[in-house]
């Protein structure tokens, strides 16, 4: 077979011009060496805020390994197996995980960091890197493990993965206060059940929390001043589910708060089976609402990353690389 183009998104420089779209590589899908691994065609990729933290020098200490300069960036995605030399991986299987390279075709050595997926016929693959993927898992698993939710309590939820959190909190009978960064997002969180929704860029967060709180549960997706406001208006024995940074410790002691950092990889062994039995079916049935901002082609990855970092994306950012 004649080699074909294998477009890639490479990590190119620190700290500016961090990615470049490259079409110089070719691949022969029939003869490329597998060396005991398997060849996948990338279908969809997730664009997430944490990716910016990996665009850094290897000298910077972090829980997440930096991207390798000159190599394709990697992240959560879905791919279909085209060929396989791996005894546990059959042609036609779909794989999902956090190590999918941002390139059209990839030879992967093993299943580390990957799982097989069975697609609900009523859902697109894009949903499996969003509401039925890592962001949805973070919400579902974090809520199940740490919220200790009780009917009648008050939850303050910042958006992001918070859209599912809002619906989980309402299912458990809580009053939900939700913040978002645009009027369009505010309208969406109202539609999915938030009792109080406001634009944190144009509204005083402390004023809202003083009137609608105190807060029993806080889902923190932003940190900074919003976290400070939540700490000030927390109820005694409040629970903070953290994705942001702690900027004020005094209220933690004074109000006997409990704070949990939500790491999906640590919760997956306990909740993965339950998640895939429960959430895709609920999404397909319309019991849980979701929204997506979909772009097509690897050439849109850099722009999508920028929109996520600037907060100008209107929903979960997903890149469709190829159709099946």
Q: Is the pLDDT of residue 246 over 60?
A: no
* Degrees to nearest 5, angle at CA 166 with 162 and 167: 125
pLDDT of residue 257: 84
Model confidence pLDDT, tens digit, residues 128-146: 999 999 999 999 999 999 9
Model confidence pLDDT, tens digit, residues 263-313: 899 999 999 999 999 999 999 999 999 999 999 999 999 999 999 888 888
DSSP one-letter string for 18-68: -EEEE---EE-TTTS--TTSEEEEEEEEE--GGGGGGSS-TTS--SSPPPP
pLDDT of residue 314: 83
Q: Which residue has the higher pLDDT, 50 or 134?
A: 134
Q: Is the pLDDT of residue 181 over 60?
A: yes
Q: How far apart are CA 239 and CA 260, in angstroms?
A: 8
Provide, rounded to the nearest whole percent, the portion of the chain with pLDDT above 70: 96
Residue 199 is encoded by which pair of tokens? 């634009």
How is domain 4-130+291-320 classified at the CATH fold level? Quinone Oxidoreductase; Chain A, domain 1 (3.90.180)
* Degrees to nearest 5, angle at CA 151 with 147 and 153: 65
Give strand ranges (E) for the chain.
4-5, 8-11, 19-22, 26-27, 38-46, 74-84, 94-101, 105-108, 114-116, 154-158, 175-180, 196-199, 215-220, 234-242, 258-261, 292-296, 316-320
Average pLDDT, the chain: 91
Model confidence pLDDT, tens digit, residues 252-264: 777 888 989 888 9
Given pLDDT bands bounded at 50, 70 and 90, which one contains residue 249? low
Name the residue among 215, 264, 223, 228 with its Cα closest to residue 243.
223
pLDDT of residue 298: 95
Q: How far apart are CA 118 and CA 281, in angstroms?
A: 12
* Degrees to nearest 5, angle at CA 80 with 85 and 41: 90
- Predicted structure pTM score: 0.90
Q: How far apart are CA 287 and CA 242, in angstroms?
A: 26
pLDDT of residue 146: 95
Q: With 0-12 CB in 10 A as exposed, 13-18 as middle and 19+ as buried, what is 63?
A: exposed
Query: What average pLDDT score do residues 240-251 get?
Result: 68
Q: Please state the domain extents for the chain.
A: 4-130+291-320, 134-265
Given pLDDT bands bounded at 50, 70 and 90, which one contains residue 45? very high
Model confidence pLDDT, tens digit, residues 165-177: 999 999 999 999 9
CATH code linked to domain 134-265: 3.40.50.720
Given pLDDT bands bounded at 50, 70 and 90, which one contains residue 17? low
């Amino acid at each position: 077979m004649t080699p074909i183009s294998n477009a890639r998104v490479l990590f190119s420089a620190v700290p500016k011009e961090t990615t470049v779209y490259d079409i110089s590589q070719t691949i022969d899908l029939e003869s490329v060496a597998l060396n005991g691994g398997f060849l996948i065609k990338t279908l969809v990729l997730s664009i997430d805020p944490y990716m910016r933290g990996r665009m850094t020098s290897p000298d910077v200490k972090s829980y997440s390994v930096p991207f390798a300069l000159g190599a394709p960036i990697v992240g959560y995605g879905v791919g279909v197996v085209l060929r396989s030399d791996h005894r546990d991986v059959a042609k036609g299987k779909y794989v999902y995980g956090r190590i999918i390279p941002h390139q059209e075709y990839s030879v992967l050595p093993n299943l580390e960091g990957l799982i097989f997926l069975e697609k609900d016929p009523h859902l697109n693959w894009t949903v499996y890197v969003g509401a039925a993927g890592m962001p949805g898992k973070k919400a579902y698993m974090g809520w199940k493990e740490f919220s200790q939710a009780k009917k009648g309590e008050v939850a303050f939820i910042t958006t992001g993965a918070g859209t599912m959190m809002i619906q989980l909190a309402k299912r458990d009978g809580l009053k939900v206060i939700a913040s978002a960064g645009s009027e369009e997002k505010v309208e969406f969180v109202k539609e999915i059940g938030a009792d109080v929704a406001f634009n944190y860029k144009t509204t005083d967060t402390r004023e809202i929390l003083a009137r609608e709180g105190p807060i029993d549960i806080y889902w923190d997706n932003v940190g900074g001043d919003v976290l400070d406001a939540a700490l000030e208006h927390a109820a005694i024995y409040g629970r903070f589910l953290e994705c942001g940074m702690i900027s004020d410790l005094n209220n933690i002691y004074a109000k006997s708060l409990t704070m949990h950092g939500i790491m999906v990889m640590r919760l997956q062994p306990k909740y993965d089976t339950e998640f895939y039995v429960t959430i895709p079916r609920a999404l397909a049935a319309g019991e849980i609402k979701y929204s997506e901002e979909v772009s097509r082609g690897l050439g849109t990855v850099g722009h999508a990353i920028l929109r996520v970092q600037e907060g100008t994306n209107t929903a979960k950012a997903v890149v469709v690389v190829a159709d099946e």
